[in-house]
Amino acid sequence: MAAPLQTTTYYLTVTDALGCHATDSVTVTTCIDKTTGIGAINNISPYLEIFPNPANDVLNITSAITQIQEISIIDLTGQQVLHQSMLTGSNFDLDITSLSAGAYIIDIATATQRYHSRFVKVNAK
């Protein structure tokens, strides 16, 4: 059973020494399966998909309508363990063989949004 989508908007206002200020925002949407604790990006957006989950050697990431610009993998201690930027496509086969078995967070950035989800890396039998 998947939890409902949760959308949070974060705002940042910066004021310089002269009193000039600028404000910007970013919206983050997450969804985690209550049963497994594993999120799937296709639950967040009908246009993004991450599979398989759990994954062994390759994590497939596809986007139906938006260009993926950046992909980061973060371990559960908060360390970024894999990063690819300046991407210009909508389908990627991400090599995760260097990762140890365990749970990770994937962060996918498009031109307009960031998507976060969990996936599990398993070792080959």
Burial environment of residue 82 by CB neighbours within 10 A (0 to 12, 13 to 18, 19 or more): middle
Assess whether pLDDT exceeds 70 at residue 79: yes
Whole-number Å distance between alpha carbons of 9 and 27: 4
Q: What is the pTM assigned to this prediction?
A: 0.64
Q: With CA atoms as reference, report the closest residue to 122 among 66, 78, 56, 30.
A: 56
Per DSSP, 42 falls in state H
Q: What is the pLDDT of residues 80-122, one digit of tens each?
A: 999 998 887 788 899 999 999 999 999 988 888 888 888 999 9
Task: Identify the structural domains of the chain with CATH numbers, from first to last.
Answer: 33-121 (2.60.40.3080)
